[in-house]
Structure 1
Amino acid sequence: MYQSFPIAETFGIQAPPKMTVEGFADANHPKIPAKRDYVFRKEPLRDVLAFLNVPNGDGLYITGPTGAGKTSLITQVAARLNWPVHAVTCHGRLELNDLLGQFTLVNGSMQFVHGPLAQAVRDGHLLILNEIDLMDPSELAGLNDIVEGQPLVIPQNGGEVIRPHPKFRLIATGNSAGSGDRNGLYQGVLRQNLAFMDRFRILEIGYPEPELEDTVLAKTVPAMPAVIREKMIRVANEIRKLFVGGDAGAGMLSVTMSTRGLIRWASLTVAFKGAPNALEYALDRALALRAEPEERLAIHRIAADVFGQDWQST
């Protein structure tokens, strides 16, 4: 059974009271993602809801830098609409058959167990293919027909035919937009087949605006003073600029600070409040110790410049 959800109340954004989106009435399905505190950005949310409402034979491809919140956007929308999700992280050895299913020993006999694609198509769930640009383009070509709404045929199971549920949606995420990794930031990213990419509408997501991240930090780490939060966000954005780079080429850093990493830094700063320099100590454990020594030094210099006297006294 379906249910209409008021957009303003459901997602905490400004919208006309009568504007609704359709989801599922059953809130107890085990595949519904866990709901957590989340601040939605209006523009990306608008695109996702439009796709969920009327896909018009498209898939949805969400691209953006690592840690920008591509997957969490979808899962938190699904959590509020009671929409079950099957999420798969792609890699170079993943095959279409892994998504369809396989014969498995069940109670002493071999039975065909449907994979995430077959289940989502059959039951009207969301299928999220994360890091899809790591998967072999020749394998992904097998999804062309199902994206357009054609029946799913499973040769391994005697030619079983599954007609797509009207609520089935296919969503992909990737650090590239299907044209390969131009800056050399992401190992293993492959250029995707043009015919496959033509079946998707594209949504590009960047890192959140400082005001939004400040709201998130204030909610998740309320003990952190506002002036320190503001400087942490400035440091995060400087790190991101050096990671992403620009038209001239790749960035200078091989690591970046996601919103998740920013929250980790703030939380650890509060936890290690008694350390000689809690900000530096927490920053190392939240991010910098993953970087090369030269990069770690650059990250520390960024933080010292932004925080000034607070860098040694906090």
Structure 2
Amino acid sequence: MDQARYINKDETVFNDAQALMQLNKNLLLKGPTGSGKTKLAETLSETLNRPMHQVNCSVDLDAESLLGFKTIKTNEEGSQEIVFIDGPVIQAMKQGHILYIDEINMAKPEALPILNGVLDYRRKLTNPFTGEVIEAAPGFNVIAAINEGYIGTLPMNEALKNRFVVIQVDYIDGETLFDVIKNQSKLQDDTLINSIIKFNEDLRTMTKQGQISEEASSIRALIDLSDLATVMPIERAIKRTIIDKLEDTREQQAIVNAVELNF
């Protein structure tokens, strides 16, 4: 199974993202949860042969989470000294790697201005913990991902957003989704895969009508569902991977109805 590739019938999504990276532009991947934003970033990392350092944003994100922290270390002579352990931002800058900032709009707005100099033409940062000035090595790129409108997210600061070029990453369907399930899950039964795709189309329709939340029809959930379908009945696989994740009983019942119609 090829676990590392992003697939989309709209080839401009990947091709434009790669071109922007080669132009040293900051890339903002915008789309619903589970639509493949992280997979796209991983595929860019693999294609460009540049390792990726990841920051997972939350309301608890602070400067230490981004830049690193001081700690006490015992040296070869047996005495102790204070050293600074580089965080993901500084590691990526020094090594000319990719920095991936996931769910950037989950972070408190006051936590991110420290990255302004990293994200503009300067590609430079003064470490507030050590005073060291870090200039990004050639090859350094920034990719951020954003899920708009979800609980816990905040409107993205315009000054920050203006430092990125945006690519919309939507859910995939049809033959493209068939290829993803076939290549990235353990399920190889074509008939069952086609039934899962039809079931997912119903979920997407219910999502658009506001009957269920978007994560119920995510690619991530479908891959898990397809894996489980190789070791248990499809109805139970759907219960484990989709239905039981939802807290709203009306959403759960809507999916139960879709299961009965499709399987």
Return the TM-score normalized by structure 1: 0.75
Q: Deviation at 1:127?
A: 0.5
Counterparts in 2 of 1:83 and 1:299: CA distance versus 1, 3 Å? same
Letter in 1 for 2:105: D
Q: Deviation at 1:171?
A: 0.9
| Percent of matched pairs sharing the same residue | 29
Counterparts in 2 of 1:128 and 1:137: CA distance versus 1, 3 Å? same
Q: Deviation at 1:74?
A: 0.9
Q: Deviation at 1:128?
A: 0.5
**Which residue, 161, 169, 183 being the options, matches 1:205?**
169
In structure 2, C-alpha distance between the alignment counterparts of 1:79 and 1:141, rounded to whole Å:
29
Equivalent residue number for residue 27 of structure 1: none
Equivalent residue number for residue 121 of structure 2: 149
Counterparts in 2 of 1:226 and 1:80: CA distance versus 1, 3 Å? same
**Which residue, 189, 193, 199 being the options, matches 2:157?**
193
In structure 2, C-alpha distance between the alignment counterparts of 1:216 and 1:98, rounded to whole Å:
34
In structure 2, C-alpha distance between the alignment counterparts of 1:139 and 1:223, rounded to whole Å:
43
Q: Does structure 1 residue 47 correspond to structure 2 residue 16?
A: yes
Q: Which has the higher contact order (CA 8 A, sep 6+)?
A: 2
In structure 2, C-alpha distance between the alignment counterparts of 1:155 and 1:220, rounded to whole Å:
43
Structure 2 SS opposite 1:72: helix
Counterparts in 2 of 1:98 and 1:290: CA distance versus 1, 3 Å? closer
- Aligned residues between the structures: 252
In structure 2, C-alpha distance between the alignment counterparts of 1:61 and 1:137, rounded to whole Å:
16
In structure 1, C-alpha distance between the alignment counterparts of 2:137 and 2:36, rounded to whole Å:
28
Q: Does structure 1 residue 261 correspond to structure 2 residue 221?
A: yes
Q: Is the 8 A contact 2:98 2:143 kept in 1?
A: yes
Q: Is the 8 A contact 2:185 2:224 kept in 1?
A: no
Return the TM-score normalized by structure 2: 0.88
Q: Deviation at 1:189?
A: 0.4
Counterparts in 2 of 1:152 and 1:136: CA distance versus 1, 3 Å? same
Structure 1 SS opposite 2:139: coil
Equivalent residue number for residue 26 of structure 2: 59
**Which residue, 105, 124, 138 being the options, matches 2:96?**
124
In structure 1, C-alpha distance between the alignment counterparts of 2:186 and 2:97, rounded to whole Å:
36
In structure 2, C-alpha distance between the alignment counterparts of 1:279 and 1:214, rounded to whole Å:
17
Q: Deviation at 1:220?
A: 4.2
Equivalent residue number for residue 167 of structure 1: 139
Q: Does structure 1 residue 296 correspond to structure 2 residue 260?
A: no
Residues 48-78 of structure 1: CA deviation (Å, up to 9, x unaligned): 21122112xx411101001001011111221
Q: Is the 8 A contact 1:224 1:266 kept in 2?
A: no
Counterparts in 2 of 1:120 and 1:223: CA distance versus 1, 3 Å? closer
Alignment RMSD: 1.9
Structure 2 SS opposite 1:252: coil
